[in-house]
Chains A and B, each alone.
Chain A
Amino acid sequence: MKLIREFEERCLAMAIDGEIDGGIHPYIGQEAVAAGVCSNLTDQDFLTSTHRGHGHVLAKGADPRRLLAELLGTLEGFNKGRGGSMHAADMKLGILGANGIVGAGGAIASGAAWAAKARGNSQVVVSFFGDGAMSQGVLLEAFNLAAIWSLPVLFVCENNMYATSLKLESGLAGNAARRAEGFGMVARTVDGMDVEAVASATKDLIEHCRAGRGPAFLECSTYRFFGHHSVLELLGVEFRDRDEVAEWRERDPIPLLGAKLGDDVVASIEEAIKKEIDDAVEFAKNAATPEPKDALMYLYAGATAVRPGVIL
């Protein structure tokens, strides 16, 4: 959790300073979800992530140096600078990509789960998405496919109560977990600010998936402490009640767990992580930028001739 927090605070500052191009969607506040869920996964398992994906990617074990290098658009990034924040992927770790389209990952996860199941081992796929994604048709179609074909997917809805500025109750009819139950899935709702609660609920549901009993659904009630993305932060656009933000900040998952770990442990974790992130910043800033002439490299396998446009 601390690694995600420190990474995200640096990134947010770098995005606001213009060191990171484009915008980032900070995960700050939601760390307990990524950490709690991914603590139940191995390198053999898979995940699909969202536009707010840094936390998921790091919790799955991705190297923060290469993630930051990707955010700086360099060749040392996982995606060689072609993906950036919203597409960070590390196939070796089973990270099938963050995704810039809300709700898109669920169907990809289902296909991956089908292929994994066909291999005959007990790999699972976790698909993260927000409450906003619950209104995307493709996600609901994917629930149906996963359920009828009994696929090992854990759908994790991070309910942070907002889809950009749209409040949960203005966007979601009924209730996320009850909807999932309507597809015949086992569904649970947990306090997404309590990493132990998330980890323990995930453990049960993943066991269910690994045992071949079909998909499951986990709703985590959580909150993002910052705005929707760094550009809104920069513009100072606010749409949430300040008291509401302050109330949720009191339930910050990191100090909540820290109180249980004790000051010494916390201090040593903080020190180690600060160093790790300093290293990542150093590494990423020194990484090489790809050549404009290679802009379309990797698009096609082999040498499909792309005809001239602006730079070629």
Chain B
Amino acid sequence: MSELPSPENFGYMHAMNRALHAEMAADEDVFLLGEDVGVGASGVTSGLLPRFGAERVLDTPLSEQAFTSFGTGAAMLGKKPVIEFQISSLIYLVFEQIVNQAHKFSLMTGGQVRIPVTYLVSGSGSRFGWAGQHSDNPYSLLAHAGIKTVVPGLPSDAYGLLRSAIQDPDPVAVFAPSSLLGATDPAYGGEEEIVPLGEANVVREGADLTIVAVGQHVGTAIEVAESLGDRVDIEIVDPRTVYPFDWDCLRKSVNKTGRLVVIDDSNRMCGLGAEIVATAAEEFDLVAPPRRVCRPDGTVIPYALALDKALVPGAEQLTDAVEATLKSVSK
């Protein structure tokens, strides 16, 4: 795939690809680096090398730590690097380079530099059968550290948020859920708009209960809301940016519905779901205790498919949580 991606293709991966083409065309300082980005091994970086050349599309050796801080150094001199990580767990290798270096330079230098790097994790989460080291979804870790972090759930957001991430003057991590890479959205008719960071989207309006759904679970939530449609009127909020989180949007929704369920593919302990539920308990007008659907504490995804699927949240667990929330009443 080396030709320009066609706007008739409404897929998530193609949307990200188009966003990269658009940003690289719009700003000469944007450049791409990572492993096998030239051939577009992930699909997301297809066609960039032939179009922009080897000066702006750098195939790196397998040196995650060095190329991550290489991005920081280039950013200090005015470049806008986009770094693609082939596997979500590679983020663990470069925690020091992202969290301890890129993120901290702005404050530590008293505002002398900004580090506008984008970390593109183009296949995050379980890939069903890729086992322990290829199935994590570590966006909560980066949010915890204060890295601007987005997890687009729809192709249009994948396009619009990636463009915003690249334009942002700070480090931004973009997690593309693996199960969405092949997803298409016919309703997204090629309208390509930039989506600002930090703004949630009310995907579905409802009166009785709010589901916060992250990434691929926007789809899960829509499915559950439709299936329970005759019994409960569900509102779905897709935060899109998990840090900074759009608390105003969620507050409005929960204060209207009074009930909250979060579905998120993080581990439970200190995960994004924990933060949302805690904030709701502290600040929102709830008529029932909030719940979360997430991976168990410290999950390591096993190889056997049945075990993998059992640990990753899905429609069934979300339905149970919604029903439990409808039954319970705050004391």
Contact = CB atoms under 8 A, between A and B. Distances in A.
A2 B97 CA distance: 35
Contact of B108 (A79, A142, A302): A79
Contact of A138 (B60, B81, B97): B97
A183 to B, nearest CB: 12
B65 A141 contact: yes
B71 to A, nearest CB: 6
18 contacts: A78-B110, A79-B112, A80-B110, A107-B66, A107-B69, A108-B101, A111-B73, A111-B81, A115-B74, A115-B78, A138-B96, A138-B97, A142-B66, A145-B60, A298-B106, A299-B146, A302-B169, A305-B244
A304 B103 CA distance: 14
A5 B187 CA distance: 69
A30 interface: no
A111 B244 contact: no
A233 to B, nearest CB: 25
B198 interface: yes
Nearest to B56: A118
B110 A104 contact: no
A162 to B, nearest CB: 23
Contact of A82 (B74, B79, B100, B110): B110
Interface in A102-118: 104, 106-116, 118
Given A110-B73, A145-B63, A82 B108 contact: yes
A235 interface: no
B70 interface: yes
A296 interface: yes
A115 B77 contact: yes
Nearest to B28: A118
Contact of A145 (B67, B111, B114, B244): B67
Nearest to A115: B77
B60 A298 contact: no
Contacts of A145: 60-61, 63, 66-67, 70
B106 A300 contact: yes
Sort A-B residue pairs by CB-CB distance and give the 3 closest, nearest first.
Answer: A111-B73, A80-B110, A141-B66
Q: Max chain A CB contacts within 10 Å: which of B60, B73, B105?
A: B73
B73 A96 contact: yes
Interface residues of B, number: 42
Give the interface size bracket for A toward B: 35 or more
A182 interface: no
B75 A111 contact: yes
Contacts of B198: 304
Contacts of A119: 77
Nearest to B245: A307
Interface string B103-129: 001111111111000000000000000
Contacts of A77: 110
Interface in B53-105: 55, 60-61, 63, 65-79, 81, 96-97, 100-101, 105
A298 B69 contact: no
B168 interface: yes
B148 A304 contact: yes
B61 A138 contact: no
Nearest to B55: A118
Contacts of B79: 111, 115, 118
Given A83-B110, A96-B73, A118-B55, A107 B68 contact: yes
A144 B110 contact: no
Q: Max chain A CB contacts within 10 Å: which of B68, B70, B105?
A: B70
B170 interface: yes
A108 B77 contact: no
A137 interface: yes
A180 to B, nearest CB: 15
Contacts of A299: 106-107, 146
